[in-house]
Amino acid sequence: MKLCVPLCVLLLLLSVVGVRTYAVGQAVNGATARATTQSTTQAAGDTEETPTDILYLCDFSGSMMGQRSALLIRELRDAVSRLTANQRFNVVFLKEGNGKTFEALDDSKLLPASTSNKSKLYKFLDDMRPAGQTQPLEGIELAFKMNPRPQTIYILSDGFEASGSRYAVGDLIDRLNKDKKTRINTVMFRNNQADWNLPEIKSLEAIMKLIAKDNGGTYKRVSADKL
């Protein structure tokens, strides 16, 4: 006897569980990394277990100008808007300016996810503009020095393209998160779906996947032309 499932029921089930595809990426150090590519309908704040303390590490270098920065801000605003009063958060932007390589909502601590602190972030975003190259190391170190230390860090970027940084980022995170107490999720942005087939982008994506895999997190793609 055949079991017939109405199409509307099937679509409802898919919308609940989400559609995930699994890819095998070759990391730059030769190790094979399996990572999860989540549906782009999932916001940057979604996790299987909701953490209390969250930090968003956002690439706002010159390469993010235009569609990518707009997508990043949309993801960030959506994630922060859904934080509850018992959670804490902070945002660190990786960008060059005023002799610094980062700009943080707060330089030392996570903030309660109150209405006033969310409004503070939204105003912060209104004044933020992409600039310079991606120099992520100081911003990553700051993230791990926050009080309290974040349970989860989201890295949102189009890939670490600056000379040398792509290799140094993984090494630094390995050292700072040696105890693996911080879960790291990565989100990568591109303008077009076709970009993912380019060898250079595959190399950048492999690093983002590996960072997530090695730190108990998930990896997500976001393409402007698929939204």
Q: What is the pLDDT of residues 149-194, one digit of tens each?
A: 999 999 999 998 754 666 789 999 999 999 999 999 999 999 899 9
Query: CA separation (Å) from 39 to 92, 137, 190?
Result: 25, 29, 15
Cα separation, 215 vs 211, whole angstroms: 6
Residue 227: pLDDT band with limits 50, 70, 90: low
pLDDT > 90? residue 202: yes
What phi and psi, each to the nearest 5 degrees, are found at residue 136?
-85, -10
Q: What's the pLDDT at 98?
A: 78
Q: What's the pLDDT at 165?
A: 62
Residue 1: pLDDT band with limits 50, 70, 90: very low
Does the pTM exceed 0.75? Answer: yes
SS (H, E, C) the chain: CCCCCCHHHHHHHHHHHCCCEEEEEECCCCCEEEEEEECCCCCCCCCCCCCCEEEEEEECCHHHCCHHHHHHHHHHHHHHHCCCCCCEEEEEEEEEECCEEEEECCCCECEECCHHHHHHHHHHHHCCCCCCCCCCHHHHHHHHHCECCCCEEEEEECCCCCCCHHHHHHHHHHHHCCCCCCEEEEEEEECCHHHHHCHHHHHHHHHHHHHHHHCCCCEEEEEHHHC
Whole-number mean pLDDT of the chain?
A: 80
pLDDT > 60? residue 48: no
More confident call, 55 vs 2: 55
Q: What's the pLDDT at 130?
A: 87
> Per-residue pLDDT tens for 104-142?
999 999 999 999 999 999 999 998 888 888 789 999 999
Q: What's the pLDDT at 35?
A: 31
Structural domains in the chain? 28-226 (3.40.50.410)
Cα separation, 137 vs 139, whole angstroms: 5
Residue type, 80: V
Cα separation, 82 vs 61, whole angstroms: 26
Q: Strand 152-157 to strand 183-190: parallel, antiparallel, or no bridges (unpaired)?
A: parallel
What phi and psi, each to the nearest 5 degrees, are found at residue 77?
-60, -40
Cα separation, 212 vs 84, whole angstroms: 24
Q: What's the pLDDT at 40?
A: 31
